[in-house]
A and B are shown apart, each in its own frame.
Chain A
Amino acid sequence: MRRALVTLLLMALMAGFGFGINRFLAARRTSEVTAHSVNRPTQTVAIFTLPGTLYLAQQGDIFKLNGGRFTDLDLPSNGSWMQPAIVPGTNDIVAVLRSAAYSDLYLIDSRGQVLQQLSHNAVTKSIIQNNHWMFWPRMASDGSTIYVSYDEPKTSASYRVDFAIWKGTLNGQLAGREQTVPFNYTGGDVSATPLPDGSILYAKYQVSGITVFSQLALQTRPLAQPVFLTDSASDCGQPAVSPDATQVAMICAGGTGLQSTRLVVAGLQAHKLVSPRVLVDNCLCSAPTWAPDGSGVVYYAPADSTGHFQLWWIEGAGSATPKAARQVTLNLDFDALSPPAWSGPSASAEAAATATPG
């Protein structure tokens, strides 16, 4: 009897061992390892605290990072939320809700309450190409003027779908007036950033031969010829202008075979870029954003081969001696196509407040 029990127990253990080997192998799959290396931001804390409040998108949700802790804005889950932008002078943000065939902009308060649907780009008709995309919202400092990339209304049956930069107001027509003329069949003009003098800086896609590239373009008047601030070989895009409008951070991919990028910062003087400095080379850097006081730049880049984008910080990015990049988050997977939105207080004010006893 005892022997039979021992035999049965051993056989059960052997079967368990075989099953264990099977599951051990399954757990070692790259897809499994990669998937399990991602947490929801609310399950983690930042490695160190950045001042102010950042809004970041991960896997279709927008999270608020404040004091090193993440809060889920808990927005309605009827699409993917992305590309938050601060509304100056308020605690609100504008964000994109992307659906399968269109995307719309929404005004959202800092607690995640949807205040208003700003655009209506969906059509109920079965003509799918009558839907519209709207991406990269960016507010001017007046807190009302908004710039977006919008695929213009189609006037004829055509395959052409290109983004142009459109200007509107939060309380009026969102895509009120077209600002740029896209290069046809390239994808067009994206990532508009308003400058204090009323001009806009954006990334313009163009084609030469069979090479497609992006150049930073500056436009002072609607539909005028743009002034190019970077050359075609550098293939630069994603411009981010410092709060004092004296520095531009950008992402360039020229010469990398589109297998990597570099984070570059240059001075902005009289509508020209001067003294470009490569802050991070040979990375998959994306979405640079300046601190509200201009003390540095955050950006996204993978920290390992899983390809999941983490948040990084470079203090003094605009200075001649920037500090080394520091990783801010671990095991997250930010949407690299959604630049963070960052609102004050300023880093220096917070540092002063921290240093002041009582």
Chain B
Amino acid sequence: MVSRPRASLYRRRARRRIWLSILVVFGFALSGVAGAFVYFLPAIRVAFADTGHTIQRSAPRPSSASPGLSVATTQQPTAAPAVPAPSQPFTVLLLGSDNDSKFASESVLTQSMILARVDPVSKHVVMLSIPRDLFVPLYSGGTDKIDKAYSRGGANAAVQTVENDFGIHVDHYAWIGLLGLVRLIDSVGGIDVVASNPVLDDFYPADVISANPYAYERVAVLPGPQHMNGLEALQYVRSRHGDLRSDFGRSQRQQQVLLALRAKAKLLGLADLPDIANAMASQFLTDMTIPQVAALLPIASNVTLGNVQQVILSPPYSSSAQIGAQDVLLPNWDLILPEVHKFFPRA
């Protein structure tokens, strides 16, 4: 029989052991969390830096359908419209830029502008490429190529130019730089693309691989199915000199690569976040918050190809012209607006 003091001692020892065990387990758990935290730190840092850049909307501007009207330049910020519920269809303006050293970092052109309408319930997506040379009234004032909207007022100006000219409401925007696209594609292990034709260009900008922003290089993307790394994919979506369809061909290739990226999104897991964050660091901006981006990812990966509609505003929606020294595309608003409003509700 065990005496009372001895039993008490055993109990104390047992309790101590339990506490020690709990402490050791807690220590391991804390250490594991610390290891994971260090791993995800770049993602957390970038997520906070690059997301949630709210669009500063101003009072409504005259519609683009009346391009002759002058545009006032005073900006009176208004309250941002309510963010649509996750189940409601929404519109995102995707912007891609040549953020090379030819331009100051805040005044780059957007060489790619894709309006995407996403219906999370039906999992239906419409992608409409806006030609970069479309000659339109800019939100910042005057009429010029639409790719200059971003350079003259950042994402706010690009979004509001599109809203005013096309008479639609844009819920969100996402801007990505060239290097961001390259790194993003590399971080998902490359993309699988069926190159539409030999994409040959003797005057392809070598600004990504060269210190000289005006240097150029020869590229040859050969046709057919292939696995592309980031630089190869960039050549495929950026080249336009050797293409009879000029910017329209490039727009098609850009949409194609977006769809190929969507296919890879299915493979991504939590562990990919730091790579993606590093890829996007200073190369990505959006007004979406982290939860909104997180909510978008499953939608993107669940959309089937059959549910993706691609729209290009080629002739007769636009026609080539020369204004000053610039080759531009003149919009045929009478055709464009009804087409756009089939997919994107009027504002």
Give chain A's interface residues, CB within 8 Å of chain B: 10-11, 13-15, 17-22, 25-26, 28-31, 33-35, 100-103, 128-129, 131, 133, 135, 151, 159-163, 183-188, 190, 203, 205, 207, 209-210, 212, 214, 237-238, 251, 253, 256-261, 284-287, 300-302, 305-309, 333, 336-337
Contact partner of B241 (CB less than 8 A), chosen from A13, A151, A159, A301, is: A159
CA distance in complex: A238, B314 (Å): 29
Most A Cβ at <10 Å: residue of B245, B260, B266: B245
Check B267 for interface membership: any CB of A closer than 8 A: yes
Assess whether A309 is in contact with B227, with CB atoms less than 8 Å apart. Answer: yes
Q: Which residue of A lies closest to B190 (CB)?
A: A307
Contact partner of A286 (CB less than 8 A), chosen from B34, B187, B226, B259, is: B226
Assess whether A20 is in contact with B35, with CB atoms less than 8 Å apart. Answer: yes
Q: How many chain B residues touch A (Cβ–Cβ < 8 Å)?
A: 66
10 A-B pairs whose Cβ atoms sit less than 8 Å apart in the complex: A17-B31, A17-B32, A18-B38, A31-B188, A131-B218, A161-B202, A305-B267, A307-B190, A309-B227, A337-B224
Assess whether A21 is in contact with B35, with CB atoms less than 8 Å apart. Answer: yes
Assess whether A10 is in contact with B27, with CB atoms less than 8 Å apart. Answer: yes
Assess whether B196 is in contact with A258, with CB atoms less than 8 Å apart. Answer: yes
CA distance in complex: A259, B314 (Å): 22
Q: Which residue of B lies closest to A149 (CB)?
A: B198
Check B48 for interface membership: any CB of A closer than 8 A: no
Assess whether B199 is in contact with A187, with CB atoms less than 8 Å apart. Answer: yes
Across the interface, which residues of B come within 8 angstroms of A103, CB to CB?
220
> In angstroms, how far is the closest chain B Cβ from the Cβ of A232?
13
Q: Which residue of A lies closest to B32 (CB)?
A: A21
CA distance in complex: A256, B224 (Å): 13
Contact partner of A159 (CB less than 8 A), chosen from B189, B203, B272, is: B203
Most A Cβ at <10 Å: residue of B35, B222, B260: B222
Check B244 for interface membership: any CB of A closer than 8 A: yes
Q: Which of B198-227 contact A (CB under 8 A)?
A: 198-203, 216-218, 220, 222-227
Check B275 for interface membership: any CB of A closer than 8 A: yes
Across the interface, which residues of A come within 8 angstroms of B107, CB to CB?
none
Known pairs A30-B272, A185-B244; A205 contacts B305 (CB<8 A): no
Assess whether B27 is in contact with A25, with CB atoms less than 8 Å apart. Answer: no
CA distance in complex: A336, B195 (Å): 11
CA distance in complex: A262, B261 (Å): 21
Assess whether A284 is in contact with B194, with CB atoms less than 8 Å apart. Answer: yes
Contact partner of A333 (CB less than 8 A), chosen from B198, B225, B227, is: B227
Across the interface, which residues of B come within 8 angstroms of A238, CB to CB?
224
Assess whether A28 is in contact with B225, with CB atoms less than 8 Å apart. Answer: no
CA distance in complex: A21, B222 (Å): 42
**Selected interface stretch from B89-97, B159-167, B248-256:** B248-256
Contact partner of B189 (CB less than 8 A), chosen from A19, A20, A35, A301, is: A35
Check B49 for interface membership: any CB of A closer than 8 A: no
Across the interface, which residues of B come within 8 angstroms of A33, CB to CB?
189
Across the interface, which residues of A come within 8 angstroms of B263, CB to CB?
259
Q: Which residue of A lies closest to B193 (CB)?
A: A258
CA distance in complex: A336, B33 (Å): 43
Known pairs A31-B187, A302-B192, A308-B227; A18 contacts B32 (CB<8 A): yes
Across the interface, which residues of B come within 8 angstroms of A301, CB to CB?
225
Contact partner of B224 (CB less than 8 A), chosen from A20, A21, A237, A307, is: A237
> In angstroms, how far is the closest chain B Cβ from the Cβ of A182?
10
Check B39 for interface membership: any CB of A closer than 8 A: yes
Assess whether A261 is in contact with B194, with CB atoms less than 8 Å apart. Answer: yes
Across the interface, which residues of A come within 8 angstroms of B264, CB to CB?
30, 305
Contact partner of B256 (CB less than 8 A), chosen from A30, A131, A160, A258, is: A258
Across the interface, which residues of A come within 8 angstroms of B314, CB to CB?
209-210
Q: What 7 pairs across the A-B complex have the smallest Cβ distances?
A: A187-B198, A34-B189, A18-B35, A185-B244, A18-B31, A21-B35, A129-B202
> In angstroms, how far is the closest chain B Cβ from the Cβ of A269?
26
Most B Cβ at <10 Å: residue of A30, A100, A185, A203: A30
Known pairs A28-B271, A214-B197; A259 contacts B227 (CB<8 A): no
Q: Which residue of B lies closest to A253 (CB)?
A: B194
Check B330 for interface membership: any CB of A closer than 8 A: no
CA distance in complex: A10, B220 (Å): 58
Assess whether A22 is in contact with B38, with CB atoms less than 8 Å apart. Answer: yes
CA distance in complex: A184, B243 (Å): 9
Assess whether B241 is in contact with A336, with CB atoms less than 8 Å apart. Answer: no
Contact partner of B39 (CB less than 8 A), chosen from A17, A25, A307, is: A25
CA distance in complex: A31, B171 (Å): 32
Known pairs A14-B31, A187-B198, A307-B189; A135 contacts B222 (CB<8 A): yes
Known pairs A258-B194, A307-B191; A31 contacts B31 (CB<8 A): no
Q: Which residue of A lies closest to B194 (CB)?
A: A258
> In angstroms, how far is the closest chain B Cβ from the Cβ of A101?
4
Check B310 for interface membership: any CB of A closer than 8 A: yes
Q: Which of B26-68 contact A (CB under 8 A)?
A: 27-28, 30-36, 38-40
CA distance in complex: A212, B189 (Å): 28
Known: A22-B35, A28-B271, A29-B187. 5 other contacts (CB 8 A): A21-B35, A30-B269, A31-B186, A190-B223, A261-B224
Assess whether A100 is in contact with B223, with CB atoms less than 8 Å apart. Answer: no
Check B312 for interface membership: any CB of A closer than 8 A: yes
> In angstroms, how far is the closest chain A Cβ from the Cβ of B25?
10
> In angstroms, how far is the closest chain B Cβ from the Cβ of A299?
10
Assess whether B218 is in contact with A129, with CB atoms less than 8 Å apart. Answer: yes
Known pairs A28-B271, A29-B275; A284 contacts B225 (CB<8 A): yes
Mark contacts of B95-139 with chain A using CB atoms, 8 A cut-off: 1 yes-contact digit, 0 otherwise. Answer: 000000000000000000000000000000000000000000000
Across the interface, which residues of B come within 8 angstroms of A133, CB to CB?
200, 218, 220
Across the interface, which residues of B come within 8 angstroms of A25, CB to CB?
35-36, 39-40, 270-271
Check B242 for interface membership: any CB of A closer than 8 A: yes
Contact partner of A237 (CB less than 8 A), chosen from B35, B201, B223, B226, is: B223
